[in-house]
Structures are given as structure tokens and as C-alpha cells.
A and B are shown apart, each in its own frame.
Chain A
């Protein structure tokens, strides 16, 4: 579980995160949603320590991340996996080497054991046989899956995903969402996803917070979001007429149910 309390971050005069607090639960897909520039990425970077918040506390399983030394953070980070928006694969390495890299760096296992683990995670993300391909030779969706494979190869307790569906077609997006959701439940990870993809919100949003101009405006789950009275959230989620109709359909179905 990750808890953050009263996170404040400014860049110069601009207040990017304004007193944000929330609990991200283990075994659930926790979503941070909001328009572009609402502070989602800064929030996630604060949580993993790539950006230091000006004030507030971040707590990983009861231990304060904010007050940890650099060495303690390094140790904790071995339990963190992260999928970046652009996948951030090392382009000079093959798919296999990319996934094997954390194993090479942090384990003393034999090559055979490492390769077995690489093939296991490749199978988990449906990329069997792609070992020797380079990132430049695979599609965007495959890159995301390799990114997920690399993020989970050390069996992390915490998984961070920054816009995992950006630039993907709806079908591939759904596959990625399902994969992240399944892995989260299978390994009881605390998964935090930044997204503004409405399909993700509806399909895998176990615990959602909505940021607007750096402030937490709303929190709940994918069922509660339909009935939300928050005007800003409704404008953001159900921006088009099509989505408005979908919302009404869902509300009718829920009431019937």
C-alpha cells in the first residue's frame, strides 16, 4: 500500500500539486486521472522519487519514503517497477537483454535461470519468440508489453504506469489494461496508473483519484464515477455526446441491476 499525505509541489511560481492526499491499495489498480497539465505525471514522479515534493509525506507499506536515505531508497526501488509513457526501452539492447537487465544488475543467478525468468515474463505478456528483436523492430503495443515485462521481472510490490495506452489503438489498449489488471491481482501489487483513457477508467478503475489544477477533486471507483455529481469530473469523463449516452445507459443498467 502507498499512502501520500499533503503533497505540495511548485515549479517557480506555479503550484503544480496542491495538498494532495490519498491511499493507494494493494491488489487494486489505482488510477490517477485528469486533463493534460493537471499534475498526474508530477504526482507519479514524486511518488517514485524522481521529483522531490516541497512538502508532504509518502509512505510505502508504513515506511516513510520522504525521510529515507538515498541508499534506503535504492533498496526500495528494487521493489518498484515502472512502465513509462514511451516505454523507455534501452534501444541498444534486444528485448531479451532489456528484460534481463534488472536481473543482471541485482541477482547473482546463473544465465540459464535468468533466461528462464525472461521467457516466463515474455509468455505472461504474450511475446513469446520476440527475444532477439530490437526495440526499433517492434510495434508500439509490443514495446509497452516489453516495458511491462521488464517492470515485473523482479516481482515488484509496486507498479507504476504512466499513460500505458497513449498512442495505442483501442484493441491493444484493452489488452494492455487487462494485462496490468491481471498482473496486479495475480501478484497482489500496488499498481498506480496515470491515464486519461476512458476505457481504462471504466474497465480497471478499482480506486480512482481525479486531479484538477493540482488538487484532488474527487475519488472513488469505476462504478461510483458514473453517479458522480462533480461538474468538472463529468465534463472531463463524459466530454462527448457519445460518452454522455454511454453514461446514461450505464446508469439505467445499474438502477435495473
Chain B
């Protein structure tokens, strides 16, 4: 299959996803289940990564500011802006592409190979609507929340590190956080989070849903879905930065 066939089939999948649910209650239940899987399931790794991401940013910023004319307050601003603009939305979403993306691709791939998707279709259920829609919906709801948590934890990580290493006192760090703060940066980060959430869920769903073969192909499509998602995230990151900043 060539590139354009993939694009066409991906768009057809997205189109096929919309339809009247056979039973709204079951779809809602599936959506909540996916919210728990994607949100709660990834919370641990997001917390660990974002905390250390902020901590390392603070240490490295302090290490590079050697000029006595530059105020140490700037360390807090560097941590704040890098975490909000890039680390929390992009880095966390790349990690989530691995965690959530491989899970979605392998789950759907396994269902395809073991004919569970065919079983749903035979029952008269729109399998794209029942299986893919709740995953994409849950990702779009939960991933921006995870990104917000990552922002707070990243900045907190920086604060704890500068306090522990004695680079600057915490009140100076807090003062630095509030200086020159642009709320637009948070809006930009959220735009990125929504876009990446869609990529992270829909691309692996495509690769999983259309798996052809056996367990080897499930593994391959899972890996491919993560790679393609990461590339698309970086591409979308550049496009959004060029358009919105």
C-alpha cells in the first residue's frame, strides 16, 4: 500500500467512526473505561517524567548562568517556559505515544487477528464507532489533563531542586515564576496537547484496526504506530509553533 492509500483509508476510518450508537449506555461505559485506562494508567509515568524534567531543567539552567550580571531569578522563568511550552506538551506526549499508542494498536490488532472485530460487525455493531471513538474521545479528554499535571509537577520539580541544591531560595524562584508570565503560552500548550492527543489515539487505532496476519504483524504494527505518531507529533509541533507563536 502506498502513502496515499494509507491516508485515504485513515480518513475513511475516521469517517466510519461517526454514527448513531446502538446503545449509548454501553458506549458511555466504554468511554469511561478508556478514560481510566488512558488517564489513570499513564499518571505514574507522567508524574515521574515531568518532575525530573523540571528538576533537570533547573539544574542545567543554573549551571549555564555564570554571568553575575544575569539575575538568578531567570532560572525560574527558564524552567517555567520550557516546561509549559515544550516539555509538558511535547515530551510527555511522545512518551504517551509509546505507552498509550502501543497499547491501542496491540489491543485492536489482537481483536482483529482473533476475529473479535468481525464478531462485532456480525452482531450489527459499528466496530469503528464502538472501539475507536471512545479511545480517541478519552485521549482528547485525558491527555490535556495529564499535560496540565505535567506542567505543575515540572515547575515543582525545579522548585524542589533549586531549594535542595541552594542555587536560589524558594521565594526568589516563586517571584521569578510570576514575572513576565504569558497566559497565552498555556493556551498554546493546550492547543498542542489536543492535537497530539488526537494523533496519539487515532494513528495507533488505524494501525491496529487494519492489522493483517498474526502476532508478528501485531508487534510490527504496534512499533510502526509509535514511530509514525512520534514523527507526526514533531511535525505538528513545528507547524503549530510556526502558526501560533
A interface list, Cβ under 8 A from B: 48-50, 73-78, 80-82, 84-86, 88-91, 101-102, 104-106, 160
Contacts and interface: CB of A to CB of B under 8 A. Distances in A.
A85 B124 CA distance: 19
B245 interface: no
A104 B116 contact: no
Interface of B: 22-23, 26, 114-116, 118-119, 121-126
Contact of B122 (A50, A85, A101, A105): A50
Given A50-B121, A50-B122, A78-B123, A85 B23 contact: no
B123 A88 contact: no
Contact of B115 (A76, A84, A101, A106): A84
24 contacts: A49-B121, A75-B124, A77-B121, A77-B122, A82-B119, A82-B122, A84-B118, A84-B119, A86-B114, A88-B114, A88-B115, A88-B118, A90-B116, A90-B119, A91-B116, A101-B123, A104-B23, A104-B26, A105-B26, A105-B123, A105-B125, A106-B22, A106-B123, A160-B122
| Dominant secondary structure at the B interface | loop
A50 B122 CA distance: 8
Contact of A106 (B121, B124, B126): B124
B124 A88 contact: no
A48 B115 CA distance: 14
Contacts of B123: 77-78, 101-102, 105-106
Given A88-B114, A104-B26, A105-B22, A77 B119 contact: no
Contacts of B114: 86, 88, 91
- A77, A88, A90 — which one has the most chain B CB atoms within 10 A of its CB? A88
